[in-house]
């Protein structure tokens, strides 16, 4: 189940990630910005040229979905959310596209029942995005969701290219060797096909995790060989990859 997470936003799978991460790290007190900085350093080791990065906050809430969406949009300096339909649910949505050093923001607050909603706040950027500004925004979203009574969790994914010009499995092994010099990591789940190699790891030194059977997974690494562009696309996710690779 953890090998090919996509950005389609399937609500049930999002809740699985939320519950798993909240349970594992409910007692951690390190700042969210500090956790993100640690994960960024790990991603920099795996990826030479960053093309895309995504932080996805998500959580369940009680109350008026429209009011929650409007509060988030107002506090984050965004346009008034618009109501629409997504995967069979009414949703309030507002979006700001990444521009220069400024990160993009996407707010989706989905009505899931009477006085119940599911909120997703996604921060996105690329190699030009200012990491200090992103960390500050990340911490701000954490406070907004917490102060509104939500028990929210987040995951982080980075995508780009590596320096090696080899097959997917070979390049993944090279990246594993680089990462293992900085932290203790154990491969738990492995997936390979003709053009893709992916491994999920237990690495207790990393500050996010999700339960998978008897293990706490902290990181997923994937290399996909893009024959049309002649490159290997490298994706790393904490605790799992939540964007298409």
Q: How many CB atoms lie within 10 A of CB 159?
A: 23
For residue 237, give Cα distances in angstroms to 89, 192, 197, 213, 220: 28, 17, 14, 19, 5
pLDDT at 21: 52
pLDDT digits (tens, 9 = 90+) for 37-63: 999 999 999 998 999 999 999 999 999
All residue ranges of the chain with pLDDT < 70 are 1-29, 163-165
pLDDT at 164: 63
pLDDT at 163: 65
pLDDT digits (tens, 9 = 90+) for 120-155: 999 999 999 999 999 999 999 999 999 999 989 999
pTM recorded for the entire structure: 0.87
pLDDT at 211: 93
pLDDT at 1: 38
What DSSP string runs through the chain? --S---SS--HHHHHHHHHHHHHHTTT--S-HHHHHHHHHHHHHHH-SEEEEEEEEEEEEEES-HHHHHHHHHHHTT-PPPEEEEETTEEEEEEEE--BTTBPEEEEEEEEEETTEEEEEEEEEE-TTS-HHHHHHHHHHHHHHHHHTT---EEEEEEEEE-S--S-HHHHHHHHHHHHHTTS--EEEEEEE-SSEEEEEEE-TTSS--EEETTEEE-EEEEEEEETTTTEEEEEEEESS--S--
pLDDT at 15: 43
């Amino acid at each position: 189940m953890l090998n090919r997470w996509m950005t389609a936003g399937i609500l049930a799978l999002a809740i699985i990630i939320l519950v798993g991460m909240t349970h594992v790290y409910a007692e951690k007190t390190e700042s969210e910005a500090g956790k993100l900085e640690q994960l960024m350093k790990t991603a920099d080791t795996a990826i030479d040229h960053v093309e895309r990065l995504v932080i996805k906050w998500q959580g369940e809430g009680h109350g008026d979905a429209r009011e929650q969406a409007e509060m988030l949009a107002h506090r984050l300096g965004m346009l008034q959310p618009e109501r629409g339909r997504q995967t069979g649910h009414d949703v309030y949505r507002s979006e700001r596209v990444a521009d220069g050093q400024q990160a993009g923001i996407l707010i989706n607050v989905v009505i899931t029942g009477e006085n119940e909603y599911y909120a997703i706040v996604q921060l996105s950027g690329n190699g030009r995005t200012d990491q200090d500004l992103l960390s500050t925004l990340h911490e701000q979203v954490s406070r907004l969701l917490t102060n509104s009574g939500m028990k929210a969790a987040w995951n982080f994914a980075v995508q780009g290219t590596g320096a090696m010009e080899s097959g997917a499995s070979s390049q993944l092994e090279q990246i594993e060797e680089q990462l293992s010099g900085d932290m203790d990591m154990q491969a738990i789940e492995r997936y390979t096909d003709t053009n893709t190699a992916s491994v999920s790891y237990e690495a207790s030194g990393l500050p996010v995790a999700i339960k998978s059977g008897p293990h706490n997974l902290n990181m997923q690494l994937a290399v996909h060989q893009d024959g049309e562009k002649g490159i290997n696309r490298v994706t790393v996710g904490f605790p799992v990859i939540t964007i298409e690779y």
